[in-house]
Amino acid sequence: DQQVKQNSPSLSVQEGRISILNCDYTNSMFDYFLWYKKYPAEGPTFLISISSIKDKNEDGRFTVFLNKSAKHLSLHIVPSQPGDSAVYFCAARETSYDKVIFGPGTSLSVIP
C-alpha cells in the first residue's frame, strides 16, 4: 500500500517556464515532507523540505506547498533550467520511527 504517491511518471517543460511536480500522501502521522532529486548513477540529493505545520517553504528557485487537508504537496521550480532535468522524489517522514518513505518519482525533462 503506497503511502506516498506521485501520479505523474514524467513531465516535460520548456526552459524558463514553471515546473510543477505533485505528490499525494495517505498517512496523517507524517510530520515532515521532503523533495529529493536524483541523477543517473548517483544517490538522491536533498532539495527542500517542509514541516507539517507550515504551508509553504521557499529556497531560491524552489518552492514547496503543502495542503494538509487535501494531503497534497507540490514542488514548483521557477524558472526551470536544463540542469533541473532529473528524477524527483517526494518523501515523507514518520516521526515515531524517524524513517523516510519515498514516492515512485517523477522524471522531469527541461527542454532548452
Partner 1 sequence: DAGVTQSPTHLIKTRGQQVTLRCSPISGHKSVSWYQQVLGQGPQFIFQYYEKEERGRGNFPDRFSARQFPNYSSELNVNALLLGDSALYLCASTLGGPIGGYTFGSGTRLTVV
Interface with partner 1 by CB under 8 A: which residues?
A: 4, 6, 32, 34, 36, 41-46, 49, 51, 89, 91, 93, 97-105
The least CB distance from residue 44 to partner 1, in Å, is 5
How many beta carbons lie within 10 A of that of residue 33, not counting itself? 24
The least CB distance from residue 33 to partner 1, in Å, is 9
Q: Which is nearer to partner 1, 31 or 55 (CB)?
A: 31
The least CB distance from residue 9 to partner 1, in Å, is 8
Take residue 101 and report the three cell numbers written for it: 518513505
Take residue 81 and report the three cell numbers written for it: 533550467
Q: Which is nearer to partner 1, 97 or 112 (CB)?
A: 97
Q: Which is nearer to partner 1, 15 or 94 (CB)?
A: 94
Q: How far apart are CA 61 and CA 66, in angstroms?
A: 17
Please, what sign has the CA dihedral across residues 48, 52, 58, 64?
positive
Contacts of 12 (CB under 8 A, 6+ apart): 108, 109, 110, 111
The least CB distance from residue 16 to partner 1, in Å, is 28
Q: Which is nearer to partner 1, 15 or 109 (CB)?
A: 109
Q: How far apart are CA 63 and CA 45, in angstroms?
A: 16
